Structure 1
Amino acid sequence: MASVYDSDSRPPYMSSYANEEAWGQVTTRQKTSSVSRKKEYTLLTKCIAEFLGDLTFVYVGTMQAHLFPYADGILHAAFAHGFTIFILVTAFGHISGGHFNPAVSWAIAGAGKMPIWHLPFYVASQLLGGFCGALLTASILTQSQLSACGAGATLLSDGTQWLQGLIAETVVTFFLVHTILISAADTDTVTLAPLAIGLTLSIDILSTGSITGASMNPARSLGPSIVGSIFATQSNSFYWNYHYIYWAGPLLGSTIALCIYKLFESREDRFVA
């Protein structure tokens, strides 16, 4: 979910020579040699990173749902998702930016931090990774276990109207994407960005998980719904009646965060001084 790093720099937590440079122990010739040996990641490699990240994220998210009867529900989900995204952004951030979310990729591309033509490839990789992660869960759980946890899908809670769900998904996605744009995409010091992103995801789930499941991510919602429709015992309407809010809400929240960022917060090309 973090920004795609410039080809001539590394994030501080990935740098092998940042500390030496600070003490004047690396010569200009050595630094130039180190930079010249770096090989830029291809779009294919970035898409593989996004696929693996979403596979892991959705697998953890759907498997932890099976523990709901034995754990403390929303708190368990919040920490499971938050820790997972913290690890994934730290591990893959220097390769693909660590988006793992079509709504995040849309905001990053809109902010000019990623070529816009990369967007469809990122989104396809994320959606496929989410589906495969949910498929792994279905291969491990029995049909009764899968049905009992609703295939780990993010679903609107009983008694909640579609508009409430749409607003909830919009708000929490705004919080998440705004944090990403400020802490990772628009700063040179991104050491704590993965932690900030993971904690934001956790508090979003703590606040809204009991209403919509706090997806904030079409890739998190689509894969489990497909797998649940195929392998669980519920009817298809159980998974698809309100599925549109898990696309409309995140994309709307992401767009609002992007607009605020471009208007007031971007360091280089904001519209309002």
Structure 2
Amino acid sequence: MASVYDSDSRPPYMSSYAHEEAWGQTAITHQKTSFSSSRKKEYSLLTKCVAEFIGDLTFVYVGTMQAHLFPFADGILHAAFAHGLTIFILATAFGHISGGHFNPAVSWAVAGAGKMPIWHLPFYVVSQLFGGFCGAMLTASILTQTQLSACSAGATLVTDGTQWWQGLIAETVVTFFLVHTILITAADTDTVTLAPLAIGLTLSIDILSTGSITGASMNPARSLGPSIVGTIFATQHTSYYWTYHYIYWAGPLLGSTIALCVYKLFEAREDRIVP
């Protein structure tokens, strides 16, 4: 899910070439030829943004549509399975193009870790937010107003009785778990071939643990689009969607920053602060 900023712009778990020092001179020559060829096929920033847009459109569409099934399914377990499986598929499919972030909090951590040019960050974030909005709009185009209102447009909302600080802590903690997994399995190593699966499963356990409190968004792009669509098309009052919406920005950004600090202090293979 995390993109590495190296010569061929591929995350390490998607890399198809080995380290040159592990091979003889013949292998080195072959690797250099392959490397030269791969440079010619490097994905542009526009292509990466399109991948992020499509990924978030898919992720938010699945996330909002499955909310409509809550009265007929097993609630949090259903949401955890739907979101985790979707991220696993999307990270596997788009990881070699954009890194498969689909989350501004993830892109921030990846850029902060030096695995992506920092100037790519605003383009990634805009693509992700717009993709999330379009995914929510697709849900609104399929469901009736009654159905859309019944599932709150699939928006992630703080449950009744939960204080703002409880919601903030919950979103911070689960985002830390998610981003930490991404940094150590996908951004910093080429040996964890099951990184997309680890990331998808982490998302699932986060939702299982915290979904009943905040919806376990961990992702401003997952929260913003459905809230906008709910405000426009559903019957609830505007404040229903926006009173605690800041939690879904502050929590993920705080959690991802903590994960980034832990990674840079203790876990990074290069430029680690604590030996």
Judge same fold: TM > 0.5, yes or no.
Answer: yes
Cα distance, 1:32 vs structure 2: 3.5
Give the AA of the match of 2:233.
F
Pick one of 170, 174, 187 that aligns with 1:172. Answer: 174
Residue of 49, 52, 55 corresponding to 1:50: 52
Percent pairwise identity: 85
Question: Is the contact made by 2:3 and 2:9 (CA closer than 8 Å) also made in structure 1?
Answer: no
1:217 paired residue among 205, 216, 219: 219
Runs of at least 5 residues in structure 2 that lack an aligned partner in the other structure? none
Distance 1:13 1:271, change over 3 A: closer
Q: How far 1:91 moved relative to its partner?
A: 0.5
Q: Which residue of 2 aligns with 1:35?
A: 35
For the Cα contact (< 8 Å) 2:13–2:189, is it kept in 1? no
Contact 1:12 1:191 survives alignment (8 Å): yes
- What is the rounded CA distance, in whole Å, between the counterparts of 1:270 and 1:29 in structure 2? 32
Query: What is the CA distance between 1:31 and its match in structure 2?
Result: 3.9
1:159 aligns with 2:161: yes
TM-fit CA distance, 1:13 = 5.3
Measure how far apart 1:36 and its partner are: 2.3
1:29 Cα deviation from its structure 2 partner: 4.8
Unaligned runs of 5+ in 1: none
Q: Is the 8 A contact 2:13 2:186 kept in 1?
A: no
Shift in alpha-carbon separation, 1:218–1:36, aligned structure 2, 3 A: same
Deviations 1:92-143 (A, max 9, x none): 0111010000000000000000001100000000000000000000000010
Counterpart of 1:235?
237
- What residue number does 2:111 align with? 109
| Cα shift readout 1:27-68 (whole Å, capped 9, x = no counterpart) | 555443333222111110110000000000000000000000
Report whether the alignment pairs 1:76 with 2:71: no
Task: Please give the root-mean-square deviation of Cα atoms over the aligned residues, in Å.
Answer: 1.8
Amino acid at match of 2:55: G
Provide the TM-score with structure 1 as the length reference.
0.93
Instruction: Note the C-alpha offset of 1:191.
Output: 1.1
Q: 1:251 aligns with which of 250, 253, 270?
A: 253
Is the contact between residue 66 and residue 145 of structure 1 (CA under 8 Å) also seen in structure 2? yes
TM-score for both structures, normalised by structure 2: 0.93
